[in-house]
Structure 1
């Protein structure tokens, strides 16, 4: 179980759960053959699937998706983890590509453009995106050096680490990496690596202030008792710790011989150690391909990093 700050409260991620097919009446598949599988009880409303795709959409427990259009031409893998909230979103994918949002992240009126084989976008836990944020892994058209005749603008992935706040109308270009706890101002043009625990804004985005922390609440002080809510009893903390121990034990079990769905279930629902995933990388890559499998390893690493911080928050809330 992983505790996240979602809308100012600590909400538990569901325990390990197998994927299953959702009610097909809530999907509008058009000409797409994308496989859709859910874990637990997500809320899905008006999900439209377009394109000549044989990709996969995996949705975690208690995720809420509304007015989401996925236009995929090729083999696109979309993994939306537990408690993710997306509304009025367009996801455009071409080639063997992937989008992973691990858990607790919220976004409205956004656009993801994931183009060219091997491209991927990974977003960590408890990120908050305002309206009209756009991300793209490719320029969509080639630029070539006349002397070498080789392309000079290849696609590059986008990585957004845990607990990042992005203001409205921000644009993230290919190759963007945003470290944990950062804030990106509205209208920012983001390229390259942005330092964590800092405010960035402008064209291009530059650091304006460092050593900061942000929260979904609007209290006057980080020391306000409701910044981490609700206050947890020691009994609840011990229950949490015991649950974490059980899930970590499951996450340490070998992946060899298990199905792709079981592997993805573990990635979304447990603190799967990246080292364990790496040992059985071939098992996942055989069905998803090496690029998507590598992207899932990155997502698992982001998830593991969030567990330690969440445990500390729960313990401090009980003291």
Structure 2
């Protein structure tokens, strides 16, 4: 991570990154008024060059969970990105534009049990390059 980008990340945002997790910034980014949390172990957040986040909440919680945001992708305020549980990825391609109030979650946070067995495990999400998403959708 470039030293200047790292300093800006910690000064302009609320960042919590437990030991054993990693935030990787690959080039110049604009990240401000964001709430970023990495809990668990072996988790990472990777932001490529040109990423623009304002008022975004990112939660990564579990074991070996990873969020990748491609180059030149832009996110509007009140966007929520959540990657939880175990061995799950949330990957967003290059040149994407997301409006305000977007919610993307790898898990719904509630167990659904059928015959004593959980049936709604977290799943990875991949969003390709040059995707535009309008205001207030929810993807689970």
Work out whether 1:114 is the aligned partner of 2:83: yes
Structure 1 residues 187-233: Cα deviation after superposition (integer angstroms, max 9, x where no partner): xxxxxxxxxxxxxxxxxxxxxxxxxxxxxxxxxxxxxxxxxxxxxxx
Match for residue 22 of structure 2? 56
Could you tell me which runs of 5 or more consecutive residues in structure 2 were left unpaired when the two chains were aligned.
none
Q: Aligned pair 1:94/2:94, yes or no? A: no
1:168 to 131, 135, 140: 135
Offset at 1:47? 2.3
Q: What is residue 142 of structure 1 aligned with on the other side?
A: 111
Q: Which residue of 2 aligns with 1:249?
A: none
- Matches of 2:35 and 2:19, distance apart in 1: 13
Q: Following TM superposition, by how much is the alpha carbon of 1:157 offset from its aligned partner in structure 2, in angstroms? A: 0.9
Q: Take 1:62 and 1:153, find their aligned partners in 2: how far apart are those partners?
A: 38
Q: Secondary structure at the match of 1:159?
A: strand
Is 1:72 aligned to residue 72 of structure 2? Answer: no
Distance in 2 between residues matched to 1:155 and 1:163, nearest whole Å: 25
Residue 24 to residue 123, structure 1, CA distance change in 2 (3 Å): closer
Give the secondary structure class of the aligned counterpart of 2:117: coil
Q: Which has the larger radius of gyration?
A: 1
Which whole-Å CA distance do the structure 2 matches of 1:25 and 1:104 have between them?
20
Mapped partners of 1:102, 1:25: distance in 2: 21
Answer yes or no: is the 8 Å Cα contact 1:53–1:72 preserved in 2: no
In 2, the alpha carbon distance for the partners of 1:157 and 1:170 equals 18
Shift of 1:24: 6.2
State the TM-score, normalized to the length of structure 2: 0.88
Q: Where does 1:163-312 land on structure 2 (aligned, <5 Å)?
A: 163-173=130-140
Instruction: Give the length in aligned residue pairs.
Output: 137
In the alignment, is the contact (CA less than 8 A) between 2:2 and 2:26 conserved in 1? no
Report the CA distance between 1:63 and its aligned residue: 1.5
Distance 1:47 1:54, change over 3 A: farther
4+ long deviations beyond 6 Å: none
Q: Shift in Å at residue 25 of structure 1? A: 5.1
- The 3 A distance-change label for structure 1 pair 153 and 114 is same
- CA drift of 1:23 comes to 6.8
Equivalent of 2:73 in 87, 96, 105: 105
TM-score of the pair, normalised by structure 1? 0.40
Residue 151 of structure 1 corresponds to which residue in structure 2?
118
Of 85, 94, 98, the residue aligned with 1:129 is 98
Partner of 1:208: none
